[in-house]
Amino acid sequence: MVNSEGIGTLKLECPQSHPVGKILKEAPHQAVQYDPGAQVGPRRFWPDEEDQPEFKTSYRFCDKPVAGATTLLQTKLSELINDAAETVSTTTLAYV
Ligand SMILES: [Zn+2]
């Protein structure tokens, strides 16, 4: 399968492999968005001011929030976007 340039979805998981949310870019001209999941809330622009320098979020499975360095997540997403073979990858966030 061929990647359309500029598109990628970085799935976020907690240390127990629960789905946390997704950081994604759906089209080359579109801004990066954070998708917390349809049952949780709407998508929003990412990273926001509050997401610096660390992206921290709560999710519905574990009883504690998870976090990851925003620059590291941005790097992983841009690597994915530049990778012609992959459009989706998963990364694990740490408990706060
Ligand atoms: Zn969890």
For the chain, the domain total comes to 1
Q: What integer pLDDT is reported at residue 3 of this predicted model?
A: 53
Ligand 1 center to 15 CA (angstroms): 6
C-alpha 75 to ligand 1 mean position (Å): 23
- Global pTM reads 0.91
| CA 33 to ligand 1 center in whole angstroms | 22
Handedness of CA 79, 15, 17, 55 (dihedral sign): negative
Inside any domain, residue 94: no
Could you list the residue range(s) of the whole structural domain that residue 44 is in?
8-83
pLDDT of amino acid 5: 73
Ligand 1 centroid vs 55 CA: distance in angstroms?
Answer: 16
Tokens 């998508």, residue located: 43
Question: What residues pack around ion ligand 1 (CB closer than 5 A)?
Answer: 14, 16, 18, 61-62
Evaluate the omega torsion of the peptide bond into residue 47 and state whether it is cis, within 30 degrees of 0: yes
Whether 3 is in a domain gets the answer no
90 located within any domain = no
List the pLDDT tens digit at each of the 96 positions of the chain: 455 678 999 999 999 999 999 999 999 899 999 999 988 899 999 999 999 999 999 998 999 999 999 999 999 999 999 998 999 999 999 999
Q: Is residue 45 part of a domain?
A: yes
Give me ligand 1 centre to Cα 1, in Å: 31
